[in-house]
Chain A
């Protein structure tokens, strides 16, 4: 019987082959959900889904696209924003 703290469904179960030759069960954390646009709610592109310990070790340019409002707004909403800014 697994310990009560390991029965939670927020952990995923993985079968791994061990150096001794047998197969054992490992418990791993689940990845976070994909990022969404701040305006319309569409899924953002160019933003990876990783646990915090991996995101911290990545370079800044690998976590968001290289344009204004990159990683915050989708490309359509960004174009509308700039047009509104200009037309004032």
Chain B
């Protein structure tokens, strides 16, 4: 049963269930195998012989065996040759690259910073279309005019102040009113 050229399946190991052919008999116990499995020696107890026999010379090369097995219909295992690639060398970064790294890190940090309410309001103004068109500047000018008016009113007595503040409150918004209250 065990002779050179006999087809065989492996029973044990990772390649259990795969077919191969005997190439050489080494010992009472060990045998050389090649085919769908890798080319190596194998224990006789881990082999189950089949009915077929191939015509091979003793210790033939891998290519001859793959040709002989193709005629029967078995594809032999083929390993790709390893590509030699160079090890990636570590290079020091130039000062420009370091600056770019720092700027990117700063941007990420600023995104997650805790923002105060005033800063949030300023950002909202800038994002709205009015801010982009430049209409916010007009509002700032109006603020300056009202401030001048208030300065003139401060000298007047208290009753006039209340009346003036009431008149101003009708015309101005809530934010303006808060500013006026702070100043008085």
A binds B: yes
Q: A86 and B50: CB pair below 8 A? A: yes
The digit string for B3-23, where 1 denotes a CB below 8 A from any CB of A, is 000000101111011000000
Question: Which A residues are CB-close (under 8 A) to B9?
Answer: 82, 86
Interface flag for B160 (CB, 8 Å): no
* Distance of A66 Cα from B14 Cα, bound (Å): 6
For A33, list chain B residues within 8 Å (CB). none
Q: B interface, by DSSP: helix, strand, loop or mixed?
A: loop
**Most B C-beta atoms less than 10 A away, residue of A66, A83, A86:** A86
**Residues of chain A at interface, number, CB under 8 A:** 10
Are B11 and A67 interface neighbours, CB within 8 A?
no
Contact of B12 among A66, A75, A85 (CB under 8 A): A75
Contact A83 B16 (CB under 8 A): no
Contact partners of A83 in chain B: CB under 8 A? 11, 48
B48–A68 touching, CB < 8 Å: no
CB <8 Å contact, B48 and A67 = no
- In residues 66-86 of chain A, which contact B (Cβ within 8 Å)? 66-68, 75, 78-79, 82-83, 85-86
- Whether B11 contacts A79 by the Cβ 8 Å rule is yes
Residues of chain A within 8 A (CB-CB) of B14 are 66-67
Contact in complex: A67, B13 (CB < 8 Å): yes
Point out the residues of chain A lying under 8 angstroms from B50, CB to CB.
86
Across the interface, name the chain A residue whose C-beta is closest to B45: A79
**Interface digits, A25-69 against B, CB 8 Å rule (1 contact, 0 not)?**
000000000000000000000000000000000000000001110
Show 23 residue pairs from A and B whose CB-CB distance is below 8 angstroms, ordered by the A residue: A66-B14, A67-B12, A67-B13, A67-B14, A67-B16, A68-B16, A68-B17, A75-B12, A78-B16, A79-B11, A79-B12, A79-B16, A82-B9, A82-B11, A82-B16, A82-B17, A82-B48, A83-B11, A83-B48, A85-B17, A86-B9, A86-B48, A86-B50
Given A68-B16, A79-B16, A83-B11, 6 extra CB contacts under 8 A = A66-B14, A68-B17, A75-B12, A82-B9, A83-B48, A86-B9
